[in-house]
Amino acid sequence: MGQEGDGSSRREWNTPVRAPWNALIKECLSAVDRHNAAYLAGSDQRHAALARTLRIYVAELKDLICEIEATEQLSTREYQTRSAECDTK
């Protein structure tokens, strides 16, 4: 993994649950930047409101992804525990 700021860093937290959402999250964050720039360039409050809405959406999506991962990890642990119990019988 590269050093911070050298342009070669990669996220190590990518999982099968997160992977399908990464491109969408990146686009949403880019849209936040575009709306902020448009707001600063012209003072149209709608751009500020849309940037806020997108930030909230991304935060809620990340929370949902974490909840799904936690559920899947729990299911995997339960399966492994039951499988280990069966192996000892």
d(CA 56, CA 51): 9
Question: 57 Cβ partners below 8 Å, 6+ apart?
Answer: 28
Contact predicate 15/69, CB 8 Å: yes
pLDDT in tens, 32-88: 999 999 999 999 999 999 999 999 999 999 999 999 988 888 776 665 565 555 555
Q: Which residue in 61, 57, 58 sits closest to 69, CA to CA?
A: 61
**What global pTM score does this model have?**
0.70
Q: How many CA atoms lie within 13 A of 9 on its CB side?
A: 6
